[in-house]
Amino acid sequence: MRARTAYSGLAAAVALAAIVSCTTPAPAVSSVDSATPVVATAPPEFRGDYEPLVRHTGYVSAYRRLTESQYRHVVADAFGSDIVINARFEPERREDGLQAVGSAQLSVTTSGLEQYLAVARSVADQVVDDKRRDKVIGCKPVAGSNGEACADTFLKKAGLQLFRRPLTADELAGFKSVWKETSDKSGDFNKAINLSLISMMMSPEFMFRVERAEADPARSGAFRLDAYAKAMRLSFTLWDAPPDAELAAAARSGAIHDPAILKKQIDRMLASSQVENGVRAFFTDMLQFEAFDTLSKDAATYPNFSQAVADGAREETLKFLADHLVTKAGDYRDIFTSRDAIINRALASVYDVPYPSSDPWTHVTFPEKSERAGVLTQVTFLSLFAHPGSSSPTIRGVKLNEMFACIAIPPPPADVDFSKVQALEKGTVRTRLLDHMTNKGCSGCHMISDPPGLALERFDGLGQFRVSENGAPIDVSADLGGRKFAGSLGLGQYMHDDPAVPVCLVRRAMSYGEGHSPTSAESKRIADQTSAFAAAGYRWAPLMRTMLSDPQFYSAPAPEAGRVQVAESGSRDSSGEGR
């Protein structure tokens, strides 16, 4: 199993890093703004009668590396949203259209390990500094003692929050040994806490979502996620964050396996403002916003482009989607036709609209005569999927099909001759693409990708409106599969009405939550979920409610030979309760 091998190698590397962390200076960490607002939820409940698990039960069914936003949310929930994380995280890997699927295939490189180590040190330093120590650690060493009782309490609590489950007895003993050795040598309680916390944050159990599974008592021969893994999958799907106190309590008692309790938790979480974080994280992945990290435009061609425009464009789309799908509970298909937008002053110059508000963001509605409507006419889509100095109908068409219809268009063959296209410097891009659409070796793909891209050609490579190119009027008529439409408004309506669009969203949502691409055997499940989505008016909350209430969402593959960990007599089960 690829992820298992990567994880095993990482465990050894982390063990070495934990030792190195005590003796070497932290490497430099570059600063980058968080892609997702960090809002701490109520952390998992820590009870005074807490006892660690004797050992894990069941088997590990999947490893999924935390995304940057998930990492930030876990730290914020554990130690406070004022903890500063200035870091550039390792690149994600995209599989079947989603980084959430690719994360199950990721390990951590040597340089990435150094970055994680630097972040762990920074967080640990902030936890024990004078302004946070008492609040975060929650206890002080008793006079005349080395503070072992306080350290024990803190490590249990921090472990529960960082690992999203109770520590095992062996894990707790390991972290306490780091604390004790440091305390004995230095006599410094804070330094000992600092190093034990670094050790905890360098554990693969923190850096990865480790999903453990067990036999499903309701289905003979089937397997399901254990209680803590189930709570974790639910919370990261809905909130992009770890379980809060109430969900953690349901996992601890095992009540989360009760369908009625599970539905109650889903309804509670859907009613929370934290759902917006989940929506933002999902669409950041689905719409491939990592492309903003390398977005550049030719300054001479697009003098209106700036980093402020790029940052604003990304935020505009996320605000629009959260407002439409969560706040207004709108029809998902309307994201292609809505004339509503949420813009800032930098974007107003690109959209060529007045900005009378003194607020940093304002709602606007584009007029009926405008060709602006929906996500496909926002600066985000138009600028990301274009060249630095020009538009690209082909790139836009490929990405539109890939992201919204789940149609993967293969790259061009290596022997394609682009000389004819590149030689045509006059006229419109439609003229330059005629060779592709009539060339026998290219037409199969370009007849799918180019028409929707050509319909968007009145928007240049930055997303500014225009009516001509190189002095020639731009023709935005299109024919896709025998259905004719014109311009961005026609394309928006085409996408609104295309039955492949909601099917694709359901597929993406399932893959995002479960961390793997649907198998052919799951086609009926996708069809059933899509039918329920349609019956609910194509609204986000009902889709999540139906999908997350389905036992199949928490199912697990059968364990591989030799991977089952047999529980010891008298040990606690996966819910944390004694058998």
pLDDT at 415: 56
Looking at residue 239, its amino acid is W
- pLDDT for residue 576 is more than 70: no
Q: Directed axis angle between helix 227-239 and helix 275-286, to 10°?
A: 80
pLDDT band at 9 (very low <50, low <70, confident <90, very high): very low
Lowest mean pLDDT among 75-79, 507-511, 574-578: 574-578
SS (H, E, C) 446-498: HHHHHHHHHHCCCECCCCCECCEECCEECCCEEEECCEEEEHHHHHHHHHHHC
pLDDT at 443: 52
Give the CA distances from residue 509 to residues 55, 195, 518, in Å, rounded to whole numbers and listed in that order.
33, 39, 11
pLDDT at 198: 97
Q: Which residue has the tokens 């007599």?
A: 569
Looking at residue 148, its amino acid is E
**DSSP E strands: which ranges in 268-356?**
340-343
Q: What is the mean pLDDT of residues 454-467?
A: 97
Q: What is the mean pLDDT of residues 339-366?
A: 96
pLDDT band at 23 (very low <50, low <70, confident <90, very high): very low
pLDDT at 105: 84
pLDDT band at 39 (very low <50, low <70, confident <90, very high): low
pLDDT at 193: 97
pLDDT at 20: 43
pLDDT band at 505 (very low <50, low <70, confident <90, very high): very high
140-164 pLDDT, tens digit each: 888 778 899 999 999 999 999 999 9
Q: What is the mean pLDDT of residues 422-428?
A: 53
- pLDDT for residue 36 is more than 70: no
pLDDT at 3: 44
Q: What percent of the chain has a predicted confidence (pLDDT) above 70?
A: 83
- On average, the pLDDT of the chain sits at 87
Name the 3-class secondary structure at 106: coil
Stronger pLDDT, 413 or 407, i.e. the higher one: 407
Q: Which stretch, 6-10, 38-42, 325-329, 412-416, has highest mean pLDDT?
A: 325-329
Looking at residue 512, its amino acid is Y
The distance from CA 475 to its chain's CA centroid, rounded to whole angstroms, is 38
pLDDT at 562: 43
Tokens describing residue 285: 């992945």
| Bridge pairing between strands 340-343 and 223-225 | unpaired
pLDDT at 106: 79
Lowest mean pLDDT among 45-54, 122-131, 301-310, 548-557: 45-54
Q: What is the mean pLDDT of residues 13-42?
A: 48
Q: What is the mean pLDDT of residues 161-175?
A: 95
pLDDT at 4: 45
Tell me how far apart the alpha carbons of residues 374 and 378 are, in angstroms, rounded to a whole number: 7
Task: For residue 512, give the nearest of 237, 234, 107 by alpha carbon.
Answer: 237
Angle of CA points 127, 129, 131, to nearest 5°: 100
Tell me how far apart the alpha carbons of residues 72 and 51 are, in angstroms, rounded to a whole number: 27
The distance from CA 36 to its chain's CA centroid, rounded to whole angstroms, is 9
- Contact predicate 113/87, CB 8 Å: no
Q: What is the mean pLDDT of residues 483-510?
A: 97
Q: What residues have CB less than 8 Å from 494, skipping those under 6 apart?
A: 452, 480, 483, 485
pLDDT band at 431 (very low <50, low <70, confident <90, very high): low
Lowest mean pLDDT among 34-48, 126-140, 257-271, 453-467: 34-48
pLDDT at 445: 58
pLDDT at 561: 47
Tell me how far apart the alpha carbons of residues 222 and 226 are, in angstroms, rounded to a whole number: 13
Tokens describing residue 279: 């929506």
- pLDDT for residue 79 is more than 80: yes
pLDDT at 435: 55
pLDDT at 392: 92
212-237 pLDDT, tens digit each: 999 999 999 999 999 999 999 999 99
pLDDT at 56: 81
268-324 pLDDT, tens digit each: 999 999 999 999 999 999 999 999 999 999 999 999 999 999 999 999 999 999 999
Tell me how far apart the alpha carbons of residues 285 and 319 are, in angstroms, rounded to a whole number: 15
pLDDT at 210: 95
Task: For residue 44, give the nearest of 82, 74, 85, 67 by alpha carbon.
Answer: 74
pLDDT band at 412 (very low <50, low <70, confident <90, very high): low
- pLDDT for residue 18 is more than 70: no
